[in-house]
Structure 1
Amino acid sequence: MVGSELQRRVDALAEDLGRSVAINDPSVRLLCASRHFGDEDAVRVRTMLQRSAGSEAIGHILAQGVTRWTGPGVIPPRPDLDMLARVSMPLRWRGTLLGLLMVIDPDGTLTAADLDAVKAAAEPMAALLYRDFLVADSERAAREETLRRLLSADPAERAVTHDFPDTSTVLIAEVLSGESARIEVALRTSLAAATRGREPSFYVRGRQGVLLGAADAAAIVKQAEDVLGAGARCVAGIGTSADGQAWIARDRAAVAVRAAATLPRFDGIAHWDDLGAYGLLLRVPAPARAHLPEPLLALVAKDPGGRLVETLAAYLDHAGSSLDTAAALHIHRTSLYYRLHRIEEITGLDLADGEHRLTLHLGLKLLPLVRD
């Protein structure tokens, strides 16, 4: 929590303007706020109650480029979120962005004198934030470094004292596409929401956020994408370790997040327990198409619609059971036998031969991982 002096300054500015005022951190998480002045909207009420404006509102604010502003600017309303217009002023100290000063201004009636008052209040507020930032950031960095070491594959690094309660589950969220300037904010916002009510247990490196402990992966992905805005894509992988070895859970989560990014069957969220053979295949470098078995490449070339490839995959996944395969494909067994015969003709392989089946099955599993 911020100090009482910063709260006093926020209250004083609000009284001078007769408007609701708040200070958020650069991730648009509430730090302190004045009382309401009858101009509150649903986003402000939610923020006061939950200390978060919600991922869609955060994404809207960041989409205005507010973190790059050098002076006060207007954040337009979002009627669908019941969000009124605001004037925002970045709070910087010696070039470091420490917060966002927000003043509700639904009808654009803040005067030039009002804006001068906002700008005058910004510098001392930034100085107070910087003081708190130095303490909080060093504590956060130390905790994140302890977590990083706990999850390391190096036994020497893992020998750290920690107070993390759940070491059996690790979740990795990875941003595959989205504005680079918003990636860390998006990951920290979604992971902080997932750990609300407990001690934070995550860190962010590049495009990945690593969380220790169980969490709602779908909610994390959605919140990150909301903050990043239209066209963004985030995926998640979950790894577990039955004996509570966190580094093993992290290793498995790293494989799972690659599966989530690569294999459509997982729809963006993959759990280690569901990977099957991909738990091993995703640990090896992605093959080039030319490295796949030639019989399978011949089948793919002769089957542009993918019907025969789909049939072969279903047949092998069902252990060669014609009854189960026909049911899975919703076709008559006569049609299935015809397709299997065509597959054998094109590939030159015998589906009754175990080695031939293994060659084709392995090739099919590797096909989605191919690097072109």
Structure 2
Amino acid sequence: MTERFQRARPGSEALQGLVDELAEELGRSVAINDPLVRMICTSRHFGDEDPVRVRALLQGRADGEVIRYVLAQGVAQWSKPGFIDGRDDVGLLPRYVVPLRERGHLLGLMMIVVPQQVLTDQEREVVARAVRPMTAQMYAEHLAADTEESEARDLLLELLGGSPAARDAARQRALDSGLLRDTPYTVVSVVQVSRGQEPPGQIEVALRGAVGGFLQTRSAHGIMAIEQDRAILLQVCDRPPDPNELGEQSRRVIETLSTFLDESSPAVVGVGGLQTGLADAWTSYEQALVAIRAGRRLPALKGVGDWAELGEFAVLLQLPEHALNESLIPKPLRTLTEAHGGPRLRDTLRCFLENAGSIPRTADALRLHRTSLYYRLRQIQEITGLDLDNGADRLMLHMGLRVEELLDSRTDDVGV
């Protein structure tokens, strides 16, 4: 599932014609970008091209650092045109930026290269006249795309919903319409963004840009649903995807969102288990919701939870939030923690249990002589009153340690 960072939806010939006409009248390079500063269409050069413009034309998109810089100027909230300063370190000349809005909705950003940051009154008037037909054309294209996206969203939500009858009907509609194929393998991923200081609508736009690149890959195709601060992506494929591919896909989504969003809006991804066919896609979705809680709670996962790798966490994280509390920690484990040398003994216990009770592997991992390890294990048994040769006692302690991990990194599971 190799990622392809999609540029914005290509502009129509009509929009391209309007851009070319304005550029010729001004004698300046003009580009139309979407709200994520991804190129939609652009004019020819007028000797004013800079490295940023050249790279964007060659790569199909601007560099992440440039996108972050432009968005940091607050252009997505502008209600009227203005200049943004250039940056020599990234090869960016100053731009005159015109927000293209219709009914309060930001459709895109017109960017005109103006090295001296000066436009005559006549030039400003020419730009202002061009805005209305451009906005009208973009709004018409936006409505058409929005209709397609809404239909796909509604179908996907029914396909993953709680009613078996509704799921079956949605599956048949997906097959009949050709929107999806009933391939042997199906997997669902969920992306959740914690709402920070982003302006209204920015998170939805960012999710669409970050996740949309995976609707069609070399080995899979799918559909997505955007719901305010989260995205659901269903992918179908003819062969089992490599877990590393899914992990890389999730990391790319998080990386892309960090380009489009402020650091106050971190993202987490949950990947459900691989299922056979569309009929079981809802199971992968439910698993993805559990995995997303793991990605949020366990720092070692770096924001990506994968159901297939959760192990015993998959059981614990299905508990409701109010039930996942300190009462689940067994009393013997709490006694061990409070004892003299408790932290060291608890670390020894964790290593022993994670190595399936193997004395040689545990001693090697802790770099302890086996005699010292046996001594610590006897101390643990004396303090807890439990038998480490007993499977039930070991399971209780191991699950208790896992609960502590979840509670130590506890955060709110808003929206999941």
* TM-score, with structure 2 as normaliser: 0.81
Q: Out of 28, 31, 46, which is 1:37 matched to? A: 46
How far residue 335 of structure 1 moved from its aligned partner, in angstroms, is 3.0
The whole-number CA distance in structure 1 between the counterparts of 2:152 and 2:59 is 24
Q: 1:226 aligns with which of 237, 251, 259?
A: 259
Letter in 2 for 1:21: V
Instruction: For 2:252 and 2:56, locate their aligned partners in 1 and report how far apart those are by CA, in whole Å.
Output: 18
Instruction: Give the equivalent residue in structure 2 for 1:369.
Output: 406
The residue that corresponds to 1:275 in the other structure is 310
Q: CA deviation at 1:108?
A: 1.8
**TM-fit CA distance, 1:183:** 2.1
Per the alignment, residue 377 of structure 2 pairs with: 340
Tell me if the contact between 1:179 and 1:228 (Cα under 8 Å) persists in the aligned partners.
Answer: no
Taking the TM superposition and a 5 Å limit, the aligned residue runs for 1:141-290 are: 141-158=150-167, 159-160=169-170, 161-162=173-174, 163-165=179-181, 168-176=186-194, 178-181=196-199, 182-195=202-215, 201-213=223-235, 216-230=249-263, 232-244=265-277, 245-286=280-321, 287-290=324-327
Aligned CA distance change for structure 1 residues 354 and 305 (closer, same or farther; 3 Å): closer
* 1:296 alignment partner AA: L
Indicate if the aligned counterparts of 1:60 and 1:227 stay in contact, CA closer than 8 A.
no
Amino acid at match of 1:222: E
The two structures have a TM-score, normalised by structure 1, of 0.89
Q: Is the partner of 1:136 in helix, strand or coil? A: helix
Aligned to 2:128: 119
Against the structure 1 CA distance between its residues 75 and 144, is the aligned structure 2 distance closer, same or farther, given a 3 Å change threshold?
A: farther
8 Å CA contact 2:191–2:270 kept in 1: the answer is yes
CA contact (8 A) 2:198 2:265 kept: no
- Checking the alignment, whether the CA contact within 8 Å between 1:192 and 1:200 is kept in structure 2 is no
When structure 1 is superposed on structure 2, of 218-227 and 167-176 the one drifting more is 167-176
The amino acid of 1:308's aligned partner reads L
Range that drifts further, 148-157 or 91-100: 148-157
**Equivalent residue pairs, number:** 372
Cα distance change of structure 1 residues 93 and 268 upon mapping to structure 2, 3 Å threshold: closer
Q: Output one character per residue of 1:309-363: Cα deviation in whole Å (capped at 9) or x when no partner.
A: 2221111122211111112223222332233233234333332333322221111
Counterpart of 2:35 in 1: which secondary structure? coil
Q: 1:201 to 1:305 in 2, by over 3 A?
A: farther
Contact 1:91 1:101 in 2 (8 A): yes
Mapped to 2, the partners of 1:89 and 1:304 lie a distance apart of 65
1:353 aligned residue = 390
Structure 2: how far apart are the matches of 1:350 and 1:11? 79
Is 1:93 the counterpart of 2:102 in the alignment? yes
1:40-81 alpha-carbon deviations (Å, 9 max, x no partner): 234333433454324433332222221211111223334444
Amino acid at match of 1:16: E
Give the Cα–Cα distance (whole angstroms) in 1 for the partners of residues 64 and 222 of structure 2. 18
Taking every aligned residue pair, what percent have the same amino acid on both sides?
A: 42
Unaligned stretches of 5+ residues in structure 2: 1-9, 236-240, 412-416
Equivalent residue for 2:414? none
Shift of 1:283: 0.9
Letter in 2 for 1:204: I
More divergent stretch after superposition (273-282 vs 297-306): 297-306
User: 1:246 is matched by which residue type in structure 2?
Assistant: A
Q: 1:301 maps to which residue?
A: 338
Q: Is 1:5 aligned to residue 14 of structure 2? A: yes
Residue 241 of structure 1 contacts residue 248 of structure 1 at CA under 8 Å; is this kept in 2? no
For the residue of structure 1 that corresponds to 2:19, the secondary structure is: helix
| Counterpart Cα distance in 2 of 1:151 and 1:223 | 26
Give the superposed CA RMSD.
2.6
Letter in 1 for 2:276: D
Q: How many angstroms does 1:196 deviate by?
A: 5.7
